[in-house]
Amino acid sequence: SHISRVTVVGSGNWGSVAAKLIASNTLKLASFHDEVRMWVFEETLPIGEKLTDVINRTNENVKYLPGIKLGKNVIADPDLDNAVRDANMLVFVTPHQFMEGICKRLVGKIKEGVEAISLIKGMEVKMEGPCMISNLISELLGVNCCVLMGANIANEIAVEKFSEATVGYKANREIAEKWVQLFSTPYFMVTPVQDVEGVELCGTLKNVVALAAGFVDGLEMGNNTKAAIMRIGLREMRAFSKLLFSSVKDSTFFESCGVADVITTCLGGRNRKVAEAFAKNGGKRSFDELEAEMLQGQKLQGVSTAREVYEVLSHRGWLELFPLFATVHEICIGRLPPSAIVEYSEHKPNFA
Ligand code: NAD
Ligand code: 13P
């Protein structure tokens, strides 16, 4: 039928908010079935109950988004195959490191003609070079895949504070408009942009800039330094994106997915927060340890993204062009101290 069924693959902090946004709209829009399936990576809570059972009993993701009702039409499902079986529209929103495994499990399990969207900020690096997550999804599953990125700290959207987001699409404007319709609410304003690579690279690369901002905070270097880091970071984001995909547009960096996401993540994100703690400890405690201690099961994307970007830079001989990206990785692995975040500034890469 022409009535679409939506499944959300993922149920972390942002995944749960995405399900809430979508579920509020499927109730109102005749072109969507009311029910929204949400695949949950099952776990047993300290109280001995399964997370899925608690979500379905209380209508809250008590572990990753406590205190927020998702909507009664959100159904948590621990069975991935079952969750996607009847869907025409798939929303992918897990930490990026799990997506390759999930896609491999989904081969042959989804319906013909499915449309996909990725809310995932990250990439994979293969022998052949970098592979964006939307590309992994479309290659492995044989589907078209849009992206949604933006200045979207999940906990703020959960309590319906106004924000904007950007949908990136390759060619099909109608499909992009359908995703815009599915996500838009009076407090969540979504704009479509024909630059899927640019939008996704913005969302991915800003997490590396956020680590740099966190180091600056941990060392109490002040607002001017942090603003400088954000500016240099944004420049490197644009240069790197354009070197990878010549089609990437300058205007994309002025959308919510670009400058606005850099700002919000450098002010209030998890990557910033954990990087601040890392610098405060002089790099003596690892990111893995700090992540586990500070985030209650939520996952950082920036540390692995910094490594992935570094691999691309060293493989292509671009390290000199991207001092901020390179330095962030070297700080993360302990090769440089956190204070090195401002020590590359005499280098003036000429990619502008
Ligand atoms: P999260 O950080 O809350 O991660 C935890 C999720 O990972 C949980 O659902 C957990 O069950 C799941 N998980 C743990 N181990 C797993 C495994 N082995 N296989 C599959 N799943 C496993 O997740 P999130 O905040 O929803 O982030 C998902 C994506 O959305 C990330 O790429 C993130 O950068 C992006 N994002 C997050 C926010 C935010 O504010 N949280 C905002 C915008 C974008
Ligand atoms: P963090 O993962 O650093 O919290 O960033 C969230 C985000 O992507 C905001 O848009």
Give the ipTM: 0.99
DSSP state of 163: E
Measured from the CB, is residue 342 less than 6 Å from ligand 1? no
- Just list the catalytic residues: 206
233 closest CA partner among 222, 243, 245, 225:
225
C-alpha to C-alpha distance for 185 and 300, rounded to whole angstroms: 27
C-alpha to C-alpha distance for 321 and 241, rounded to whole angstroms: 13
The pLDDT of residue 111: 97
Question: Ligand 1 centroid to 295 CA: how many Å?
Answer: 11
Q: Considering only CA atoms, which residue is closest to atom 36 of ligand 1? A: 14
As for ligand 2, residues whose beta carbon falls within 6 Å of it are: 121, 151-153, 207, 210, 261, 264-265, 269-271, 301
> Best of 265, 290, 303 to mutate for ligand 2, by most ligand atoms within 8 A of CB?
265
Which residues pair with residue 168 across a beta bridge?
147, 193
| Closest atom of ligand 2 relative to the 210 alpha carbon | 3
> Best of 156, 261, 296 to mutate for ligand 2, by most ligand atoms within 8 A of CB?
261
Q: What is the pTM of this model?
A: 0.97
Measured from the CB, is residue 298 less than 6 Å from ligand 1? yes
Which residues pair with residue 8 across a beta bridge?
38, 91
153 closest CA partner among 325, 297, 298:
298
Measured from the CB, is residue 39 less than 6 Å from ligand 1? no
Q: Considering only CA atoms, which residue is closest to atom 22 of ligand 1? A: 41
Measured from the CB, is residue 256 less than 6 Å from ligand 1? no
Phi, psi of 248, deg, nearest 5: -60, 135
Residue 171 tokens, joined: 């060619």
Per the CB < 8 A criterion, the answer to whether 175 and 231 are in contact is no
Residues 201-221: b if buried by 16+ CB within 10 A, e if exposed? bbbbbbbbbbbbbbbbbbbeb
Q: Considering only CA atoms, which residue is closest to atom 7 of ligand 1? A: 12
The pLDDT of residue 127: 78
- What is the helix (H) or strand (E) element at residue 95, kind and residue range? none
Question: Ligand 2 centroid to 206 CA: how many Å?
Answer: 9
Measured from the CB, is residue 149 less than 6 Å from ligand 1? no
The pLDDT of residue 350: 53
Question: Ligand 1 centroid to 99 CA: how many Å?
Answer: 11
The pLDDT of residue 347: 56
Q: Which ligand sits closest to the CA of 122?
A: 1
pLDDT mean values, one per 10 residues, the chain (352 residues): 92 98 98 98 97 98 98 98 98 98 98 97 89 97 98 98 98 97 98 98 98 98 98 98 97 98 98 98 96 98 98 96 98 97 68 48
Question: Ligand 1 centroid to 221 CA: how many Å?
Answer: 30
DSSP state of 22: H
Per DSSP bridges, beta strands 32-39 and 144-149 are unpaired
Measured from the CB, is residue 93 less than 6 Å from ligand 1? yes
Identity (one letter) of the amino acid at 270? Answer: R
